[in-house]
Chains A and B, each alone.
Chain A
């Protein structure tokens, strides 16, 4: 009894307040988005706004429950929970119910359950556990490998459902790794991966290959500071390329232009490796690793885009990249979303007065596109309030994370920040047309039990850890 009173005084009520405010704003906007004359009561349980109230009540119960659970449970069972979630993710691919072409849901009677939402929590816990483990060698290759494994194993399984939106969320956890001391390169690599991802879709692979090879040679020159060696390296790559090109031209070999350089590289890389080994030039390994990694990445993006992504997912990327712009076709969703938000003006059309969101011009107006309702009915004042609330929440969470005494709590806190931030950035970004349409919800706002509960658990575990921040967890 004494302990729980103790905890209550230590809870960060400011964060709880912002959480409640966001949940409340979300609820009334869901009401506005699906409002109709026949069901005017906001408590009507047959409607989404009525149901959302149930989800909210349940979420609050969950939040309290989390506080009742023994503190050490989270760190102690982190790997177990992670393993459990991985099991569920495999099970859902095999036995899940197919909705909108993806096996993301378990169905037990009328109860739906989306394991990918909870995979985020378990991954954060596992990541925190691993990175806070004693005598962890940050610089070792093994550590990096394990780290990537923890982050991307669930991501990969979710991508197989396929639910690309949820799968991409895990990329955000790179931020955690960065905060914990991994090289700045990890951010740069993350950024380059994103740029390459889009480049691979925009320009042809041959050009990317030429650019990457050029980049590798330039970095070689910068690091080695030797014209002679760079020139030699260039020749080593160029000569086989030209030879193979001529062979193709004479139709001795039948190859795509893309493979000419690839083949040339394959021939010359052993030469470089041998050279590097003899002269003990470590950086050559790195440059080669980067080159091959990038090639493999663009190649796989191309492959994934053409063979794994479904048509509507390809189209979503295409809309953002401006490859296909067709206001009444597939770009329709983004166009309508922008119209809805844009028509709100300074202070909006007023509560329940929005026409675009209410009359279904905007798709998924109570879930992924809930921000449109805010924009249309509350105008710039409403949207900036929501954006500022999220910024404030995230800043507050950084402050909380930094004040933790135990590494586990801090790392978990950054996991929460990264995931909330990714959802915030991608969701609002897509509604205002600066991000591709990736169907992920706006935390605390969007309609849906699974996502609200998952975000609530994610946040309140951290608040629970924070409430006991003076205790050292190991």
Chain B
């Protein structure tokens, strides 16, 4: 017998021990730990997003404002990279060799196994060339996307723009993933959910090189993408373009509304930018340039500028006076080149005196409306200035001031009408009176009103007492616009009182002694009210609100030209031209158009 035969047990024991260790380890790995299953799944499954084309945006007449153009992202898949003809590659894509090498480095740093975008949005021309030669460049492929395209290149602020989602967007809404597009401003943002459609997905089985090996679970978990819904906006492309042209020399805004519906016909902010600047590969460069521009082309003045209304606000004060019966249309006040009381004076320009209500609107008499406002605040039926003021403010708010109008624009500013406590805090309760707040009589002082609110005032007067909330989308394909846009909002002023204001506004444009003769047109009656907001030490803002024609008005407009001087200098002729363009599609006074386009000021009252 072999003396060491017992050692077979040791040898056998070692073998069995290893076997047992393996079995235990395998049991843990395969049975107890389920995390490997999900890892394996994500390993071999590639989810390819099927991007949905965004909905189109039309103008009110059916003209396309925004459509899509195919664009292609050149993708890189690091594990499949091979050697390729760099010179040819650079020539096709118009990039330098260094950029290519750096780009590959960036992609590999992002992930050595996952594809990423190598060059964003190559043109269809480049794509055509690239597609043919793609086989020569292993590791590159092309992914189709869509880009926004603007046939007229107008209405940047109204339409808004589309950009890649930010981290914050993704966090807010799990629908979005890195690389998705989202509406960032304007209509694109307000109607993002309608326009974007629904992304789909296709699941593939892939190998380690990310090569597609077949569909995952026979395509049962795939989802087809749904094209975004088209929307019809209320904008009139011709009017919008014309307005942008008129404003070329100015800083300010034009808002035009259809009084009968509240539909926004034009929303012009100047300076603006061409929407096409923010599309494609030029985007990042332009974005930076626009951001540092001292004229602030990003700033949507039509919705967000905070101006004093100036004399246009006299219409509101007049209406409140009529409603509270502190005046009647026949009331006359003297004007001695202004309003003088207790050592305080508010100057006025020269005109006939005394004037009645209608004439004072026509001539924009400061003294008259100081009297009107004094009457409102000293109204004995409220007992105190403070109570009268509260009542006045209640009236003012029903015009849509002091709050957002709740339009379908997301970035609309609210505006400001001070509460009585505002003055209490400054002067102490009971220590302020009409004289303290007299500048409110003529739309100066603490009032803050946006151009769209001003246009809404014009529409309210045009409608003789009510307005529809301004909105920019008329129709959504396969959907309905919000009910709030079909509700009439009546002001607290009886409709009967509006006719006198309309008469005054007619006079301002069409009669001798009117303040706004430059708004006059040939074929119909424009009713308007000038405004001049003082912004010392700078030149006044030129303001004008108007509607036309007088009977059955089709358009209501507000125009602001910053530092443009008196209302009649720029704002009035612009409003007249806009009304004519919209109603007649031709200009009866070419010299007026030429004057505005030239932008050289002529003071001729």
Contacts and interface: CB of A to CB of B under 8 A. Distances in A.
Binding between chains A and B: yes
Nearest to A390: B19
B25 A328 contact: no
A137 interface: no
Contacts of A259: none
B26 A384 contact: yes
Contact of A344 (B4, B30, B111): B30
A434 B5 CA distance: 31
B345 interface: no
A28 to B, nearest CB: 20
Given A345-B31, A425-B18, A355 B40 contact: yes
Interface string B4-41: 11011011101110110111011101110111110111
Interface in B467-517: none
B23 A384 contact: yes
A398 B6 CA distance: 12
Given A356-B43, A375-B30, A391 B4 contact: no
A194 interface: no
B208 interface: yes
A308 B173 CA distance: 56
A180 B43 CA distance: 50
Interface in A193-228: none
Given A339-B36, A359-B208, A380 B44 contact: no
B19 A391 contact: yes
B39 A339 contact: yes
Q: Is the interface of A mostly helix, strand, loop or mixed?
A: helix
Given A342-B36, A380-B26, A391-B19, A179 B31 contact: no
B40 A398 contact: no
Nearest to A387: B22
Interface in B430-457: none
Contacts of B11: 175, 178-179, 398, 414, 417
A306 to B, nearest CB: 27
A262 to B, nearest CB: 35
Given A380-B26, A380-B31, A342 B40 contact: yes
A337 to B, nearest CB: 10
B18 A375 contact: no
B107 to A, nearest CB: 14
B326 to A, nearest CB: 81
A97 interface: no
B4 A180 contact: yes
A402 interface: yes
Given A360-B209, A402-B5, A340 B30 contact: no
Contact of A343 (B4, B7, B36, B206): B36
Contacts of B8: 179, 398, 401-402
B59 to A, nearest CB: 52
A394 interface: yes
Interface residues of B, number: 43
A119 B75 CA distance: 50
B113 A328 contact: yes
Interface string B184-212: 00000000000000000000011111000
A180 B7 CA distance: 9
B25 A434 contact: yes
B213 interface: yes
Contact of B37 (A343, A361, A380, A395): A343
A383 B207 contact: no
A360 B522 CA distance: 81
A342 B22 contact: no
B19 A178 contact: no
A26 interface: no
B30 A428 contact: no
Contact of B30 (A179, A341, A395, A421): A341
B458 to A, nearest CB: 64
A345 B34 CA distance: 8
Contact of A387 (B23, B111, B214): B23
Contacts of A342: 29-30, 33, 35-37, 39-40
A345 B2 CA distance: 46
Nearest to A429: B22
Nearest to B5: A402
Interface string A128-149: 0000000000000000000000
A51 interface: no
B136 interface: no
B97 interface: no
B3 interface: yes
A250 to B, nearest CB: 50
B601 interface: no
Interface in A389-417: 390-391, 394-395, 398, 401-402, 410, 414, 417
Interface string A335-369: 01011111111100000000110111100000000
Given A339-B36, A344-B30, A361 B207 contact: yes
Most chain B beta-carbon contacts within 10 A, residue among A355, A376, A410: A355
A375 B26 contact: yes
Contacts of B41: 343
A346 B205 contact: no
Contacts of A391: 15-16, 19
Nearest to B6: A179
A121 interface: no
A410 B44 CA distance: 49
A359 B26 contact: no
B394 interface: no
B213 A345 contact: no
Identify which of B10, B23, B29, B113 gathers the most chain A CB atoms within 10 Å of its CB: B29
Nearest to A329: B112
Nearest to B112: A328
B469 to A, nearest CB: 55
Contacts of A328: 111-113
Nearest to B22: A387
A359 B205 contact: yes
Interface string B538-578: 00000000000000000000000000000000000000000
B544 to A, nearest CB: 66
25 contacts: A175-B11, A179-B4, A179-B11, A328-B112, A341-B26, A341-B29, A342-B29, A342-B35, A342-B37, A342-B39, A343-B36, A355-B40, A355-B44, A356-B44, A361-B43, A361-B207, A375-B30, A383-B26, A384-B27, A387-B19, A391-B19, A395-B16, A398-B15, A417-B11, A434-B21
Given A178-B10, A328-B111, 15 more contacts: A179-B11, A181-B4, A340-B40, A341-B26, A343-B41, A345-B31, A345-B34, A345-B37, A358-B207, A361-B44, A375-B30, A384-B27, A388-B19, A394-B12, A432-B25
- Nearest 5 A/B pairs, CB to CB: A342-B36, A359-B207, A343-B40, A355-B44, A360-B208
